[in-house]
Amino acid sequence: MTATYGAATVFDELPSGLLIGSDWVSGSSGGSYEHVYPASGRRNATIEIAGEVEIDRAVKSAWEAHGEWIAYTPERRRDLLFDLADAVKADVDRLARLNVHDFGVPIMMSAGHIGLAEKFIRYYAGYVDKAHGSSTPVSNKFDVNLIEREPYGVVGIIAPWNGPMVVVGLNVAPALAAGNAVVLKPSELSPFTSLRFGELCLEVGLPPGLVNVLPSGPEGGAALVRHRGISKIHFTGGGDTAKKIIAEAAANLTPVATELGGKSANIVFADADLDAAAKLSAFQGPLGQAGQSCACGSRILVQDSVYDAFIEKFLAVVQSVKIGEPFDPSVVVGPVVSQVAADRILETIDRASTEEMGELIAGGKRLGGDLADGFFIEPTVFTDVDNHSPLARIETFGPVVSIMRFTDEAQAVGIANDTVFGLNAYIQTNDLTRAHRVARQLEAGSVWVNRNSDISPQSPYGGYKQSGTGRAGGLEGLHEFQQVKNIRIGMS
């Protein structure tokens, strides 16, 4: 097992196996997977991978738990979810360490993921005994016409590797609050925090099977999607995978909600506070999670008159941060998740340079020296990028940003919207009227003005266009996990 920066190894912190009901299951039909720690390139742990047999067992266990869960009073369900939020909070140090093991996110940012999960669980716990239906008048004025919201039953939640605890907060929490049981399928690339979260669910006294945790790759995911016992799939990941999942789910007409990728525009107007804009653009761009975030502002649009000044300030921020071992508390940028990801990102950089999609002004290489065995890529900046080039079109999911020039507001909006994606958009301006006007015109599920993407439980988060159909957060996030029933009682 990998030596880590003064931290315990994975299985000092966690039972091994898949979590089904209250059992930690090994000898899985899906086999095992050698998890690699991205910062060292070495084996971190051998994990169980769920196959068809384990998925089937988990779905059955979830249905049993669902029956028990909805038989509880709302107050009891509410209090158990508050207990769960408390347990996540109390376990923040361990969960944060496991999150670093998971995908190499720097420890400096890791606790933020856990805090986000806790906030969402607490927020949705508060809904359990307050989310009520309604009644409306109908043509026969004496009839009773009720509109009720019911859980789906058992939902399959499929998570990407880049934020397993974020998915716990955004999706598992509202699913449970709505009365569902969950089969959670984290990626085999980042299984650890989800397994510990499942253990915490048992420790606080949720019915065994209410949250089952089955890491796997595409095969386990596909088995979950096609299982007839799954009432709804909630998928977070890439668009190509979403197409396969929707096609697979069509066999049973299982509903699917999707939260997908982005190629978000970050528009810097000449009247912005340039120092603040440069800092925000760097952290929301190539630095935060090494650009491996759905919210990455990977297309930075800068107004002509401040183009050069902005680039100078932006580069100063990008080049000032420490890159390295994620357990080092002073490190800001960690590795990318895998050798495959590193190869893909370096190939994108190479192609963008040779085919002159823009001018490479910083980064572009894999780091050597002490970091040579890990998957570290320099924060990489291209300027004067053509918005129609693949560099500006395709989600790179790495520490790579494109800077583009615009002259006026209309042109900025045109470039920002000229993409198949529509997840986030960022506006840097001190003109409040402009901020409102531009925000209304941007085709994105979230628009952030003079701030980073601070996903909060009160706000629905999700995409326009090919960035997905689902919403997480707010009442909209709860509604994703409820189906609507109308009951009409004749009174004639």
Among 60, 149, 244, 405, binds ligand NAD (CB under 6 A): 244
229 φψ region: left (φ > 0), alpha (ψ -120 to 50), beta (else): alpha
The verdict on 187 binding ligand NAD (CB under 6 A) reads yes
Spatial separation of the C-alpha atoms in residues 61 and 311, rounded to whole Å: 55
296 labelled catalytic: no
Among residues 241, 289, 387, 469, which is the contact residue for ligand NAD, using CB under 6 A? 241
419-445 CB burial, b ≥16 within 10 A, e <16: bebbbbbbbbbeeeebbeebeebbbbb
11 neighbors 101 (Cβ within 8 angstroms): no
Residue 454 Cβ vs ligand NAD, minimum distance, rounded to whole Å: 14
* Structure tokens belonging to residue 470: 């689902």
Binding residues for ligand NAD, rule CB under 6 A, total 29
Strands 144-151 and 134-135, bridge-based pairing: antiparallel
Q: In this chain, which stretch among 47-55, 259-267, 365-373, 378-386 interacts with ligand NAD, using CB under 6 A?
A: 259-267
List the one residue out of 286, 293, 312 whose CA is nearest residue 379: 286
Does 112 engage in binding with ligand NAD (CB under 6 A)? no
294 classed as catalytic: yes
Dihedral sign from CA coordinates of 154, 155, 158, 159:
negative
- Among residues 194 and 303, whose Cβ is nearest to ligand NAD? 194
Residue 397 makes contact with ligand NAD by CB under 6 A = yes
Closest approach of Cβ 444 to ligand NAD, in Å? 12
Scanning 119-127, 255-263, 322-330, 347-355 for contacts with ligand NAD by CB under 6 A, the matching segment is 255-263
CA nearest neighbour of 197 among 427, 41, 19: 19
CB-wise, 256 or 282, nearer to ligand NAD? Answer: 256
Active-site entry in 259, 378, 443, 480: 259
- What is the number of other CB atoms lying within 10 angstroms of the CB of residue 492? 5
Q: Is 480 in the site for ligand NAD (CB under 6 A)?
A: no
Minimum gap (Å) between residue 319 Cβ and ligand NAD: 26
Site string for ligand NAD, 432-471 (x = CB under 6 A): -------------------------------x----x---
Question: For residue 292, which of 244, 345, 245, 339 has the smallest C-alpha distance?
Answer: 345
285 interacts with ligand NAD by CB under 6 A: no
CB 449 within 8 Å of CB 427: yes
Contact yes or no for 446/424 (Cβ under 8 A): yes
Residue type, 67: G
Q: Provide the Cα torsion 192, 193, 199, 205; round to 10°.
A: -170
Q: Which of 13, 91, 102, 395 binds ligand NAD (CB under 6 A)?
A: 395
Question: Burial level of 174, CB count in 10 A (0-12/13-18/19+)?
Answer: buried
Find the binding residues for ligand NAD in span 137-166 (CB under 6 A).
158-163
Which residue in 48, 294, 296, 325 is the catalytic one? 294
Choice between 412 and 455, CB closer to ligand NAD: 455
* C-beta neighbour count of 71 within 10 angstroms: 10
Residue among 456 and 486 whose Cβ is closer to ligand NAD: 456
Fill in the per-residue mask, 207 to 236: x = in contact with ligand NAD (CB under 6 A), - = not in contact: ----------xx--xx--x----------x
- For ligand NAD, the closer of residues 159 and 333 by Cβ is 159
Per CB under 6 A, the list member of 125, 213, 260, 333 interacting with ligand NAD is: 260
Catalytic residues: 259, 294
Residues lying near ligand NAD in the complex (CB under 6 A): 158-163, 185, 187, 217-218, 221-222, 225, 236-238, 241, 244-245, 259-262, 294, 395, 397, 423, 463, 468
